[in-house]
Structure 1
Amino acid sequence: MSSGPDPSSTPRESTEPADRSGGSRRPEIGPRPLRKPGRGETSVRDMVGALLILVPIALLLFSVGSSCSFAPGGPVEDAESGPTVNVAERLAEYDRGSAFPIRVPDVPFRANSTDRGPVEGGGTAVRVGYITPDADYLSLVQTDGSTEGVLATESGAAGRGEGPPLNRGTTTAAGLTWEVYQAEGGEPYRIATLPGDPEVRVLITGSASEEQFGTLARAVVDAPPVAAGS
């Protein structure tokens, strides 16, 4: 009795495709396909990038802020800092085209600005800004305009749609009577008419003390007027 073929001796077909060399093909090794990063990975990466940008900016702002100080009453200026102008030269230039004589006061203050411009209602204003040794300031205005006109111009109330500073009475300095105008919480505007012809008014305002106002008032009154147009 013959038996069937031995299964162990029967050749089996390979399930793996053969390569050209006759052996079975191994899995190919190469670059993997690109994978879109997960939401969690993207969020962390963006956060790190943002921190790398924001940290240097924050450090810069902190260093700048720590070197500044807040002055609620306005900037405090060193009495020796800022520009200095030659008042005599500037006022001599303005005087050449002036319709009224201009005075050059001799004061122990540093002049840091001069200006000339029109006055509301007619006339011209010649201005000098001073810094006192206490780092306060005074503004001197000489004009042939009216009291109302120079007050409106220098206070700037009309441009802001406000009424003019209120009359607070009078004060005496350098032998003259000065009308005092002041808005609530503002600086006083003192106005006087100088003796002589043509009529010239002087306005003094600023943050300086009454004593320093008196010093400037006396210097203006004592200064000889320069002939208009000279």
Structure 2
Amino acid sequence: MPADKPRFLQNNRDMALSMIPLVLICIVVAAIAGQCSFSPGHPTQGKIPHYDATDALRADAQQLTFPIRLPRTPEGWQSNSGGHDTVNGNDGGEATSVGYITPAGDYVRITQSNASVPALVRFVAGGARGVTGEESVAGHQWSVYAQTGAEPIWTTDMGSVRMLMTGSGTDAEFRQLAAATTGEAPLPSQP
């Protein structure tokens, strides 16, 4: 019976001993690739990406056919994302968005568009939602679309432009961004 495995290779210990080198190899490869980190205690906030909302909205004001406002956000708010997109449908149009991180670490995004409010809500929410409340901020009426398990959506119609806000922010942060945007004059458009 010399062809038989030694007795120590015939139980669960054999399996565990075989796995240890594999796990060590995976850890070494992950460390070399820089895809792992160790943070005892709790996770830490990473660096917030920078997005130049001023330049982006000024460029969109030159290209898009509706008035675009540059929010004058409160101290400590940092723009971290944005872009423009097409809202599909018969009542669709163009849209430009900017996302902000508040000092509390919440995310609030404002979208400005020439699409209808229902089309804009469908575009952002991924489907239709019904109005669940109203908010008045700086002389403008905002419709609130709240849904359990989803981020709230606020919209207002300012005639030639519709605005939509969404994100993980508080009602107070939504009010701050609403006032910071609607209180501004539209950026200069193409001559």
TM over 0.5: yes
Q: Give how far 1:87 is off.
A: 0.8
* 2:179 is the alignment partner of 1:225: no
**1:1-230 equivalences in 2 (<5 Å):** 36-38=2-4, 40-41=5-6, 44=9, 50-58=15-23, 60=27, 67=39, 78=45, 81-108=47-74, 109-121=77-89, 122-157=92-127, 164-194=128-158, 199-229=160-190
Aligned residues: 179
SS of equivalent to 2:145: strand
For the pair shown, the structure with the greater C-alpha radius of gyration is 1
Q: Give how far 1:92 is off.
A: 1.3
Unaligned runs of 5+ in 2: 28-35
Q: Give how far 1:124 is off.
A: 0.6
TM-score (norm 2): 0.80
TM-score (norm 1): 0.67
Q: RMSD of aligned C-alpha atoms?
A: 3.1
Unaligned runs of 5+ in 1: 1-34, 71-75, 158-163
- Could you tell me which amino acid in structure 2 is paired with residue 210 of structure 1? D
SS of equivalent to 2:72: coil
Change beyond 3 A, Cα 1:144–1:184:
same
- Could you tell me which amino acid in structure 2 is paired with residue 125 of structure 1? A
